[in-house]
Structure 1
């Protein structure tokens, strides 16, 4: 049986950002659950988020931007109609 291909991450972080994310994950797990994670475990959790959870946030952000732009364009259109000469 072939191994399941993992999907590419929806976002990538700079190395410094990844390191900071690992530290935050480790600190969170220690503070909340008294679990001492190594960097490998923290990296696995971050990978889970970037591949499986981040797309949901990304799609929501796209939807929110579309809604905002639609409202803004409607406002501009209204302003242009107000400038129209009879």
Structure 2
């Protein structure tokens, strides 16, 4: 999956990865190593989060459509015979 990040976003994420390794694993990793971790996340993990978000959005849109449909049907007028 291709995720386009600005240079600033990528630099911030790399710094966050380095901080995580420092705090959680007591390891200092290079910028290059952190960039490799970021590449792994983008290629292997991001699609899972993306697909979950798509399903969440689908559910929200379906709920809104159902609500809108109900509101539209209340506008119907009775037909006299």
Is the pair's TM-score, using the shorter chain for normalization, greater than 0.5? yes
Q: Which residue does 2:63 correspond to in 1?
A: 71
Report the TM-score when normalising by structure 1: 0.88
**Structure number with larger C-alpha Rg:** 2
Provide the aligned length of Structure 1 versus Structure 2. 78
Structure 2 regions of 5+ residues with no counterpart? none
Q: Which residue does 1:31 correspond to in 2?
A: 23
Structure 1 regions of 5+ residues with no counterpart? 1-8
Q: Which residue does 1:5 correspond to in 2?
A: none
1:83 and 2:81 matched: no
CA contact (8 A) 1:22 1:43 kept: yes
Moved over 2 A (4+): none
Larger relative contact order (Cα-Cα within 8 Å, sequence gap ≥ 6): 1
Report the TM-score when normalising by structure 2: 0.93
